Chains A and B, each alone.
Chain A
Amino acid sequence: MTSHSRLKITLLQVLVAIGFLLAWHIATTTSLFADPRKMQFFFSTPTNVLARTWKQLSGAEIWYHLGITLTETILAFVFGATGGVLCGFLFARRELLAAVFDPYIKAANALPRVVLAPIFALWFGLGIWSKVALGFTLVFFIVFFNVYQGVREVSQTVLANARMLGMNERQLMRHVYWPAAMTWMFSSLHTSVGFALVGAVVGEYLGSSAGLGYKIHEAESVFDVTGVFSGMLILTIFVIVLDTIVTMIENRLLVWRPGQSTTTANG
């Protein structure tokens, strides 16, 4: 974005949305490409999707499902982040432990976590805990690697300075290693919250009786394309709201960081 004004960019962005919706509308309500009824079966129509979304959001049921998904996301994030911070910290401070476990951690991280979903459903049932477990395996590794790297790469000068100030191991931990670890955890906040949500939704999709993933799956199983799209739209709104909250938290917690950059990556 060099010399283009903010207003111009916003206008063009709105134009893209209108163009997309218009194309969708024309394609599905006229016989330009195919029989509208056939088109609507596969693609629904923008007005139907918006109407359904509005109806859902003004009803009570969807909020229950959103609540379930949110609970799973938060639990997966809290457990995953806590585990990741503790393990990352421990491994960074214990060379031997890190060396011994290195190949196993890499192997575990290389495994596509989705394949674990059925196992988790078997172990933890179809309730929220199998989704929390799936989200945990995603969040844990992101936070773990970030914290591990962060603690190991603490500025040697800052560390030497703290030691020259007479700090003992416990004080170094509290004033140097811990803040460094937290920094790295927060810098992966967007990614890890995103993955916690992925874990929750994918888990619900694969087997559950509540949550947004379940709603989408339910609509899909009866070929209710309008329901699928409206579920996706609600999911998108949900992610944007969550991401905005994370950004707000991040800005508060990382005030000391120079020109902080935000990493946005939702799977």
Chain B
Amino acid sequence: MQAVSAAPETAGEAARPPAISLAGIDITFALKDGGRYQAVKGVDLSVAPGEFVAVVGPTGCGKSTLLNAAAGLLQPSAGKVGILGEGLAGINLKAGYLFQLDALMPWKTALQNVAVALEPQGVPAREAEERARAWLARVGLRAFTDRYPHMLSGGQKKRVALAQVLIRDPKILLMDEPFGPLDAQTRQIMGNLLLDLWAQDRKAVMFVTHDLEEAISLSDRVVVMSAGPAAGIVGDYRVPLSRPRDIADIRLDRDFHEIHRQIWQTLKVEVQKAYAAGEGRDMA
């Protein structure tokens, strides 16, 4: 499924190739009425190993689309997707993907949902179950292993999804507004849980959100995308905040306010553009 090494020119250049490298990405959709909609145009973005990058942008700007290209769930119309130095063809199996909406199999219990993630790797069922149990304990769901998704709260479902993704130990994490549907307090708790788990082995993360505060408090780098159509990157900021962080406390930090002010200058323009173009159009 991998192979087709599309980027031989970058192979020897760096000791550690970027975890994700998007080069000249265009993404165009064919619309039902026969027209075409260019969601993303000419995006270059690279995420280093161990780096936590947040992508922010107005609703419908194509940031989720870009993430799906990195996941191999959709094929860009132009440009190259490189994963750990290799060209991507098909599904990106080196990445774990945390979805915005419910992605758990509703007919499986929490334990089964997590354990099944190991099946494609050929882990025997008994061992998979043991490891799933351990992971559920790590995300604080020891007492909920036998619950079906509909018996869990929104935050608990996200915990299961997180365990399901992390049990495979992917090198890269792709997240599409994963905490979007949760209430403010649960978001903070989940944010801290994510940072705790991430700090243990520092996977490369591409985290898509429209919430700038969430982006800054979690990430090392914030990338701002312009309003669609033909969205591109209009800003790239390093977050000068030390780790470990507490999501709730860090928002009171002076540096947090400074970087927030800087990024918001750029983001505000795009949000207003998107708003002027009609709020309803949601291509994300």
A166 touching B99 in the complex, CB below 8 Å, given contacts A158-B104, A256-B107, A258-B150: no
B193 at the interface (CB under 8 A from A): no
Across the interface, which residues of B come within 8 angstroms of A164, CB to CB? 71, 73, 91-92, 95-97
Among residues of B, the one whose C-beta sits closest to the C-beta of A258 is: B150
A157 touching B102 in the complex, CB below 8 Å, given contacts A163-B73, A164-B73: yes
Q: What separation, in Å, do the CA atoms of A157 and B99 have in the docked complex?
A: 8
B248 at the interface (CB under 8 A from A): no
Q: Are B150 and A167 in contact (CB under 8 A)?
A: no
Contact of B105 among A158, A160, A163 (CB under 8 A): A158
B197 at the interface (CB under 8 A from A): no
Q: What separation, in Å, do the CA atoms of A160 and B67 have in the docked complex?
A: 13
CB contacts under 8 Å to B, within A245-267, are 255-258
Q: Are A255 and B148 in contact (CB under 8 A)?
A: yes
Across the interface, which residues of A come within 8 angstroms of B107, CB to CB? 179-180, 183, 256
Q: What separation, in Å, do the CA atoms of A155 and B168 have in the docked complex?
A: 22
Q: What separation, in Å, do the CA atoms of A155 and B106 have in the docked complex?
A: 10
Q: What separation, in Å, do the CA atoms of A251 and B104 have in the docked complex?
A: 21
B103 at the interface (CB under 8 A from A): yes
- Judged by DSSP, the binding face of A is helix
CB contacts under 8 Å to B, within A145-184, are 155, 157-158, 160-168, 171, 175-176, 179-180, 183
CB distance from A133 to the nearest CB of B (A): 33
Across the interface, which residues of B come within 8 angstroms of A166, CB to CB? 91, 93, 120-121, 168
Q: What separation, in Å, do the CA atoms of A165 and B107 have in the docked complex?
A: 17
B119 at the interface (CB under 8 A from A): yes
Q: What separation, in Å, do the CA atoms of A255 and B148 have in the docked complex?
A: 8
CB contacts under 8 Å to A, within B96-114, are 96-97, 99, 101-109
A162 touching B119 in the complex, CB below 8 Å, given contacts A157-B99, A256-B148, A258-B150: no
- Judged by DSSP, the binding face of B is loop
CB distance from A31 to the nearest CB of B (A): 62
B106-148 CB mask vs A (1 if < 8 Å, else 0) is 1111000000110111000000000000000000000000001
User: How many interface residues does chain A have, given as a range?
Assistant: 20 to 34
Contact of A176 among B105, B164, B168 (CB under 8 A): B105
Q: Are B103 and A167 in contact (CB under 8 A)?
A: no
Across the interface, which residues of B come within 8 angstroms of A171, CB to CB? 119-120
A256 touching B116 in the complex, CB below 8 Å, given contacts A157-B101, A164-B73, A166-B168: no
CB distance from A168 to the nearest CB of B (A): 7
Among residues of A, the one whose C-beta sits closest to the C-beta of B97 is: A164
Q: Which of A155, A161, A179, A183 has the most CB of B within 10 A?
A: A161
Across the interface, which residues of A come within 8 angstroms of B103, CB to CB? 155, 157-158, 160-161
Q: What separation, in Å, do the CA atoms of A255 and B150 have in the docked complex?
A: 10
Among residues of A, the one whose C-beta sits closest to the C-beta of B148 is: A256
Q: Are B150 and A161 in contact (CB under 8 A)?
A: no
Q: Are B95 and A162 in contact (CB under 8 A)?
A: no
Across the interface, which residues of B come within 8 angstroms of A258, CB to CB? 150
12 contacts between A and B (CB under 8 A): A157-B99, A157-B101, A158-B102, A160-B103, A163-B91, A164-B73, A164-B95, A165-B168, A166-B120, A167-B120, A179-B105, A256-B109
Instruction: List the interface of chain B (C-beta within 8 A of A).
Output: 71, 73, 91-93, 95-97, 99, 101-109, 116-117, 119-121, 148-150, 161, 164, 168
Instruction: List the interface of chain A (C-beta within 8 A of B).
Output: 155, 157-158, 160-168, 171, 175-176, 179-180, 183, 255-258
